[in-house]
Amino acid sequence: MQHIGPLSFLLYWSVVGYIVYPRWRGPAVPISEYVKSGNLKKLYQLASVISFTGYALFCIYWLFPEYDIHYSAVVLILFSYITQMLTTFTIRSERKSQFWHDWYARLSGTAAICILPFLALSDNAPGYLVTITWVSFPLMIALGTYLRRVNRTYFMPLQIGLFLYYHLLIIGFTYL
């Protein structure tokens, strides 16, 4: 079960890379703009369901028990999972759906990031990861807040950076 979370990340990033890299439209275009319709949408949704489900199961059955994390973190990860599914299946095609897509994405990201303090407060957490987490947590919140701005010239690199940094911290707590 320990490897399910990192493998979920690998699946997600492989599919995002496959979709975005050959169709690059500039740094202002978010991932969701690449998967509005057709086979790419279906591929992204399938990969997202598999990887987000795998990550939620990994957290509930391996990561949280490994670090003796309180069950309230399970509520956070389930809330993050549900809102991530809503984000994935709410396509940004009209103004109304863009609003809901962005709203679900913010809720999901906030809930996921809030899991990090649970890990950092665990007695089982390695000291250097605790330090990295406490230093990076406000930076992740600031970056997430910055992504909410309407004029987002470098949205894609910031979005990828936020996701990757979060994933790298989780991988650190998994293997270090």
Paired tokens of 101:
């897509």
From the list 103, 110, 115, 104, the residue with the least C-alpha distance to 55 is 115
pTM of the model: 0.90
Closest CA to 129 of 79, 54, 63, 72: 63
Residue 84 tokens read as: 């991530």
- Domain enclosing residue 98, as ranges: 4-175
pLDDT tens for the chain, 176 residues: list them. 999 999 999 999 999 999 999 988 888 888 888 888 889 999 999 999 999 999 999 999 999 999 999 888 999 999 999 999 999 999 877 778 888 988 998 899 889 989 999 999 999 999 999 999 999 888 888 877 777 665 577 788 888 888 899 999 999 999 98
Q: Which amino acid, one-letter code, is at 75?
A: V
At 150 the pLDDT is 56
Say which amino acid occupies 112.
A
DSSP letter string, 83-126: HHHHHHHS---SHHHHHHHHHHHHHHHHHHHTHHHHHHTSTTS-
Domain count, the chain: 1
* Vertex 164 angle, CA 163 and 165, to 5°: 95
